[in-house]
């Protein structure tokens, strides 16, 4: 069992190049044995993935399989703005979002160094800037790390800017008078959090138990090696991390779409940047980021790294199909609700990287948006980005299986 013994890491960023490629190939292999439902009209063009040999058919060789491997993994993110805004700007897989480092800032123009080079971004009068709180654009300084959401349809016109935003979600390990150490997960490591004295009271309104073992979730300003906590991202669970209530037994299959809240995290590397962390990875895969103690809520069906997950922001209507890139270790034990637009059902169902969260219409300082997730699959007609068909998280019977 390769996977069980760790030859394939459970999260994309932990995997080596070979393993990452293997993870990316899973979509193709799955499509071969379980072909996605056919499109109504003749979608299958020249680039279609020829699939055969499933079920009880004889072993039929399939050609053209290798090239589609690139469609998986991080590159498989597909945008689908069902009713939401279409945002063409931005590099990589996050439409309408630019991340980078501030080189120069003025009230009207900021110059960024982004992965695709130097960019000048105009700031219209209504553009807002968050840097621990809403600030004037002149508060941006050279060296600040920013996430910029563009005005829809514009490539260089900023709508909102978040500077040095950071977040720490995990279990409080040790606390001092003004600082604490938080355990975020096995591969993420521990995070130092500094709480300024004037913020402590505000944080303790929603996080009254700042004791070892309790869960915390803070948003603030990322410093060099620590986070300056400024905003509570949620209300603190009343239980300690190891004492999350056992989930109630439920009959029947999971619903096709599971509702809850989507949160964000600071991405831990390029491989983690364009995917989604999912709280319920198959426990048999010896995931390096096993969820912490407690089953929590809601009941999520098991998936694996590389599975496509269709995440929809219920507040904006934006939906994207993203590959699962890792496990969200603490998401299962936060049984909280998101109230960005209405009140979501309890539970965190997706953990997006910062840029992905912003691209889907989330505001970083809020910490979450109401979301639904469903299993996505590559449509048979076009295996590339943007060709993701929504599936169902409920388990249906197999079509043509043979023992």
Partner 1 sequence: MTGSGLPATLLADLQDVQPPIIAGILIGACLAKLSRVLRSIGWRGGGFRGVAPPGPAERGGARRRRVPSEPAIAGGPGVRPPGAALDAGLGPTQLFPLRLRRPLAMVMCAFEMSLGLALLVTELPVGTRAGTALWAPRAATGARIAAAAFFLVAAAALVELRERRPDLGCGCFGDFSTRPAGCRSIARAALLTASALISIQSPALYLPPRGHGALLFLGIAGTELAVIAALSPEVSGALVRLGYTDACELRRLPADRTLATLRRSRQWRKHARAITTEMPVDMWRELCWRYVVFPCRQDGKNAEVVFAVQVKRRRPMVQAAVLLLTTDWPHGAPAASVPAQNQSRHEAMQLSRRV
Please list, in sequence order, all residues whose beta carbon lies within 8 angstroms of the beta carbon of residue 211, skipping any fewer than 6 positions away: 172, 175
Q: Does 402 bind partner 1 (CB under 8 A)?
A: yes
Q: Does 204 bind partner 1 (CB under 8 A)?
A: no
Closest to 174 in 3D by CA, of 159, 161, 193:
193
Per CB under 8 A, which of residues 323..352 are in contact with partner 1?
A: 329
Q: What are the tokens at 252?
A: 């029947």
Binding mask 101-140 for partner 1 (x = CB under 8 A): ----------------------------------------
Tell me the CA distances in angstroms from 238 to 224, 242, 243, 244, 284, one per residue in order.
31, 12, 9, 9, 30
Least separation in angstroms between residue 372's CB and partner 1 is 17
Is the C-alpha dihedral spanning 173, 237, 331, 115 positive or negative? Answer: negative
Among 290, 317, 345, 366, binds partner 1 (CB under 8 A): 290
Among 9, 216, 303, 360, binds partner 1 (CB under 8 A): 303
Least separation in angstroms between residue 197's CB and partner 1 is 14
Q: Please tell me the distance from the alpha carbon of residue 74 to that of residue 285, in angstroms, as a whole number.
A: 20
Least separation in angstroms between residue 177's CB and partner 1 is 7
Which range, of 84-92, 106-114, 141-149, 221-229, touches partner 1 by CB under 8 A? 221-229
Contact at 8 Å (CB) between 60 and 41?
A: no
Binding mask 144-183 for partner 1 (x = CB under 8 A): ---------------------------x-xxxxx-x-x-x
Binding mask 245-284 for partner 1 (x = CB under 8 A): xx--x-xxxx---------------------------xxx
How many amino acids of this chain bind partner 1 (CB under 8 A)? 102
Among 306, 326, 362, 380, binds partner 1 (CB under 8 A): 306
Among 34, 202, 346, 366, binds partner 1 (CB under 8 A): 34
Which range, of 114-122, 147-155, 191-199, 267-275, touches partner 1 by CB under 8 A? 191-199
DSSP three-state, residue 105 = strand
Please list, in sequence order, all residues whose beta carbon lies within 8 angstroms of the beta carbon of residue 365, skipping any fewer than 6 positions away: 130, 162, 165, 219, 231
Q: Does 304 bind partner 1 (CB under 8 A)?
A: yes
Q: Does 46 bind partner 1 (CB under 8 A)?
A: no
Which range, of 64-72, 87-95, 154-162, 358-366, touches partner 1 by CB under 8 A? 64-72
Contact at 8 Å (CB) between 185 and 330?
A: yes
Q: Please tell me the distance from the alpha carbon of residue 372 to that of residue 260, in angstroms, as a whole number.
A: 6
Q: Please tell me the distance from the alpha carbon of residue 312 to that of residue 317, in angstroms, as a whole number.
A: 6
Name the phi and psi angles at 317, rounded to 5: 85, 0
């Amino acid at each position: 069992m390769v996977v069980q013994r760790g030859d394939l890491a459970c999260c994309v960023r932990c995997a080596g190049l070979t393993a990452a490629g293997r993870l990316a190939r899973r979509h193709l292999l799955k499509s071969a044995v379980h072909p996605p439902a056919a499109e109504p009209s003749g979608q299958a063009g020249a680039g279609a993935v020829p699939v055969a040999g499933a079920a009880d058919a004889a072993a039929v060789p399939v050609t053209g399989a290798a090239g589609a491997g690139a469609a998986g993994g991080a590159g498989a993110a597909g945008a689908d703005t069902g009713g939401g805004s279409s945002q063409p700007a931005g590099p990589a897989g996050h439409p309408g979002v630019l991340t980078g480092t501030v080189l120069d800032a003025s009230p009207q123009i900021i110059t960024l160094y982004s992965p695709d080079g130097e960019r000048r971004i105009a700031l219209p009068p209504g553009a807002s800037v968050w840097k621990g709180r809403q600030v004037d654009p002149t508060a941006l300084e050279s060296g600040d790390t920013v996430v910029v959401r563009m005005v829809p349809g514009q490539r260089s016109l900023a709508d909102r800017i978040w500077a040095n935003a950071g977040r720490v979600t995990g279990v409080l390990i040790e606390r001092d008078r003004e600082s604490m150490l938080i355990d975020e997960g096995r591969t993420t490591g521990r995070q130092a959090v500094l709480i300024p004295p004037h913020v402590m009271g505000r944080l303790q309104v929603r996080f009254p138990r700042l004791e070892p073992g309790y869960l915390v979730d803070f948003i603030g300003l990322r410093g060099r090696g620590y986070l300056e906590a400024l905003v509570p991202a949620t209300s603190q669970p009343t239980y300690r991390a190891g004492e999350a209530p056992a989930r109630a037994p439920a009959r029947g299959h999971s619903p096709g779409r599971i509702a809850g809240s989507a949160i964000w995290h600071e991405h831990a590397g390029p491989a983690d940047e364009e995917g989604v962390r999912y709280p319920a990875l198959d426990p048999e895969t010896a995931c390096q980021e096993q969820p912490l103690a407690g089953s929590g809520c809601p009941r999520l069906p098991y998936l694996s790294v590389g599975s496509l997950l269709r995440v929809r922001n219920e507040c904006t209507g934006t939906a994207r199909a993203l590959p699962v890139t890792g496990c969200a270790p603490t998401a299962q034990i936060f049984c909280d609700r998101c109230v960005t637009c209405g009140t979501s059902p309890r539970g965190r169902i997706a953990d997006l990287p910062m840029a992905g969260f912003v691209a889907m219409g989330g505001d970083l300082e809020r910490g979450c948006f109401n979301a639904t997730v469903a299993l996505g699959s590559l449509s048979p007609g076009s295996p590339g980005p943007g060709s993701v068909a929504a599936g169902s998280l409920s388990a249906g019977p197999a079509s043509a299986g043979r023992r």
